[in-house]
Structure 1
Amino acid sequence: MVKHHDVVGRYVTIEVDDCEYKVFYLQNGKGIPLICQHTAGCHNHQWRGLLEDEEIIKNYNVIAYDLPRHGKSDPPHNKEFWKEDYKLTADHFCNFIVKLCEALDLKDPIFMGSSFGGNVALQLALRHPNKFRAVIPVEAADHSPGYYLDWWRHPHANAAQVCGSGTWDLMAPQSPEKDRWLTWHYYTQGAEAFKGDLHFYSVDHDLRNELKNIDGHKCPVIMMTGTYDYLTPPEASENTARQIKGGVYIEMPDIGHFPMSENHELFRIYLIEALKIINERTNK
């Protein structure tokens, strides 16, 4: 059987902090821009279910990109990147997202990211509240220490296997087996960038003293975390949301750290709830 899909992939070249990036992104739908960041060490395949969700794409222009050094997005073309130790920072991460949204001419987009993508969503709400309709931090918290470790790229270990296997017990056991194995597979492909991503996640991201400066009335912050996530436990996300003016927390039972890829059909139920809240707050 031959089946053609409406999801379209494109490249755009942007300059961020003197780095020239050729960025790959997938797009489908129409309406309010919903731009999606994958988890650390992964790529935009994680958002495949969302990109083909008929109910979502009727009203939302879903865009899922590969961060530079991930998936089909190369490292910077204008630098000898192989001579540098990749360490992602909050400044560069935020600057990249803002530049990408500008390059794609996105008007008042919603930003959604998971894990380190959820943490950067909080950073965006703090630094650039006027540039986003709302943010949806998934599996996120104000601080996520302890995971910037050398053994992610240890010379005596198969880095791909280590990174892939590290995802397994972060997923809910009742999530579909095929989707759990696909999530594992995605992670075996992104081992080279994983440790550098975790520099942002566990070292450079720390908003414990900044949450009071995020205004969830100005830029709605709807946080969502799965009950099977021990990396960012639900109580950590809830505590973060509680300290944000107007912050909202939605707990997602029976799902883990990779909700959009491990069980999209369950994840979409909570996402629709989050989008409804955003719609109510931004259309007054």
Structure 2
Amino acid sequence: MDHYNELMARVVEAIKDGELPRLIPSLDCRVRLTVGDQKATLSIRNGEVALDGDAAQADVTVSASPEAWSRVLQTPPPATYHSFTALQMANEEFEISGLPLEIARARPALERLFELVVRAPTKEAAIVRRDITTVLGRYQPVSIEGTVYDIYFEETGTGVPVLFLHTAGADSRQFLAQLADTGLAESYRLMAVDLPFHGRSMPPASWDGAPYKLTADLYQAWCRAILERVVGEKAIVAGGSMGAAMALVLAAESPEHLLGIIGIEPPFRSKGRRNPYQHNVNVHGSLHNSAYVRGIMSPMSPGSERRRASWIYSQGAPGIYPGDLAFYSDEFDGAVTAPKIDASRTPTVLLSGDYDYSATPADGAKLADLIPGSLHLTMPGLGHFPMCEHPDYFRPYLMRALEFIRAAR
């Protein structure tokens, strides 16, 4: 079977998907797939997707050579060939054309369709024993420079304290699998926090409703206060993405609060993560943002876990995700921060999934080169959210990171 016919056979099966109707309410769009000189058009209308051989025009076109499409059809596909947003943002072999607004509106449908077109075996992993009933949540009011924040956090276990920091636009639910891990809880005091404006940590009562924008100074002030008044002792800080960037900042600027850091998907410079439709009245933000992050996960992670991981992004408050990216994508620079870290004082581990096109293994390697004595591990078959997209497969990497830090102390 040639590449075009193989692609069409997979598309025909994909459009029967039961999840698609939830992702395309009121969407009226035509999508053209071009494989060399062969073309097919999908019509999305009234909550249904169908092949439309008569369509003369298309709102969004996805074009590439047969050779490029063949890599999408591989089992598993290489990184940057595994999702629609990867093709758009990180793959020079594909051309995505159409008005940016139309692409943004179609993103939830296209991300799901490509998720179904792609074939990839789930990475096998040992089953981890978890007990969610051991995880307890509560609030702690914290005053920072005259502003009172009611910080929500969850905690379990006893032993060496570990504080988990969530990614941009998300909340501490990303680390629920680690908190519920009964084996981890035997040796570690595990804590995960919702930053102010995220999850269950409400904006302060003094907030006047102005646009939210996270800066390195504000984020660091929040984290120092959390370490001092919520954790109450030195801790290993394990942060994902934006949280990884802040873990590096804390190691560089506030090492006295730390036992060590674990950067989960650490960026070097993550320019380009901003998208004008992350917060735009013309686009359904919950659908768009959850699809935007869905494309940065690994096709080898379980589909059910990827769906749950993206669900968190469907519930973020308007403007918070792009407001976080003011720090993560605009301000943070690993070339400036990493050389300030003394790994002999603050043991440093960097964990990079090879399907992550935002914070790549190459980024992790560049950071490690600037932090002598640090440990960098590439995690084959994982994407940008390893702690929640495939927590069982991620666990051995987390354990190795924790053991490295404890051995270095």
Settle same-fold status: TM greater than 0.5. yes
Whether 1:93 aligns to 2:215 is no
Whether 1:205 aligns to 2:339 is no
Cα gap change, 1:161 to 1:198, in 2 (>3 Å): same
Distance in 1, Cα, partners of 2:284 & 2:251: 37
Question: How far off is 1:21 after superposition?
Answer: 0.6
Aligned counterparts, 1:228-267, within 5 A: 228-267=355-394
Q: Give the TM-score, by structure 1 length.
A: 0.94
Whether 1:7 aligns to 2:132 is no
Aligned to 2:402: 275
Whether 1:40 aligns to 2:168 is yes
Distance in 1, Cα, partners of 2:164 & 2:302: 22
Aligned counterparts, 1:35-184, within 5 A: 35-80=163-208, 82=209, 84-184=210-310
Aligned to 2:313: 187
Q: Give the TM-score, by structure 2 length.
A: 0.66
**Equivalent position SS for 1:55:** helix
- 2:344 alignment partner AA: H
Instruction: Please tell me whether the aligned partners of residues 159 and 191 of structure 1 are also in contact (alpha carbons under 8 angstroms).
Output: no
Instruction: Please tell me whether the aligned partners of residues 152 and 194 of structure 2 are also in contact (alpha carbons under 8 angstroms).
Output: yes
Distance in 1, Cα, partners of 2:165 & 2:337: 22
- 2:279 alignment partner AA: R
Give the unaligned 5+ runs of structure 1.
Answer: none
Instruction: Please tell me whether the aligned partners of residues 267 and 358 of structure 2 are also in contact (alpha carbons under 8 angstroms).
Output: no
Question: How far off is 1:148 after superposition?
Answer: 2.9
**Equivalent position SS for 2:309:** helix
Distance in 1, Cα, partners of 2:178 & 2:242: 19
Cα gap change, 1:252 to 1:146, in 2 (>3 Å): same
- 2:346 alignment partner AA: C
Distance in 2, Cα, partners of 1:191 & 1:167: 16
Instruction: Please tell me whether the aligned partners of residues 242 and 248 of structure 1 are also in contact (alpha carbons under 8 angstroms).
Output: no
Whether 1:222 aligns to 2:349 is yes
Instruction: Please tell me whether the aligned partners of residues 294 and 310 of structure 2 are also in contact (alpha carbons under 8 angstroms).
Output: yes
Distance in 1, Cα, partners of 2:193 & 2:313: 16
Q: 1:99-127: per-residue Cα shift (whole Å, max 9, x none)?
A: 01111243220001101111111101100
Question: How far off is 1:135 after superposition?
Answer: 0.6
Aligned to 1:24: 152
Instruction: Please tell me whether the aligned partners of residues 212 and 323 of structure 2 are also in contact (alpha carbons under 8 angstroms).
Output: yes
Instruction: Please tell me whether the aligned partners of residues 19 and 79 of structure 1 are also in contact (alpha carbons under 8 angstroms).
Output: no
Distance in 1, Cα, partners of 2:141 & 2:250: 22
- 1:220 alignment partner AA: P
Give the unaligned 5+ runs of structure 2.
Answer: 1-130
Question: How far off is 1:191 after superposition?
Answer: 4.7
**What's the C-alpha RMSD, in Å, of the aligned pairs?**
1.3
* Worse-superposed segment, 11-20 or 49-58: 11-20
Question: How far off is 1:256 after superposition?
Answer: 0.5
Q: 1:204-241: per-residue Cα shift (whole Å, max 9, x none)?
A: 21231342221111101100011110111111111111
Q: 1:104-161: per-residue Cα shift (whole Å, max 9, x none)?
A: 2432200011011111111011001121000111111232112233221121100111
- 1:172 alignment partner AA: S
Instruction: Pick the structure with greater CA Rg.
Output: 2
Distance in 2, Cα, partners of 1:4 & 1:20: 30
Distance in 1, Cα, partners of 2:360 & 2:317: 24
- 1:89 alignment partner AA: T
Instruction: Please tell me whether the aligned partners of residues 28 and 57 of structure 1 are also in contact (alpha carbons under 8 angstroms).
Output: yes
- 1:35 alignment partner AA: L
**Equivalent position SS for 1:11:** strand
Question: How far off is 1:245 after superposition?
Answer: 2.5
**Equivalent position SS for 1:275:** helix
Instruction: Please tell me whether the aligned partners of residues 33 and 106 of structure 1 are also in contact (alpha carbons under 8 angstroms).
Output: no
Q: 1:84-104: per-residue Cα shift (whole Å, max 9, x none)?
A: 221100111111011011112
Runs (4+) of structure 1 exceeding 4 A deviation are none
* Worse-superposed segment, 135-144 or 107-116: 135-144
- 1:134 alignment partner AA: G
More relative contact order in 1 or in 2 (CA 8 Å, sep 6+)?
A: 1
* Identity over aligned pairs, percent: 31
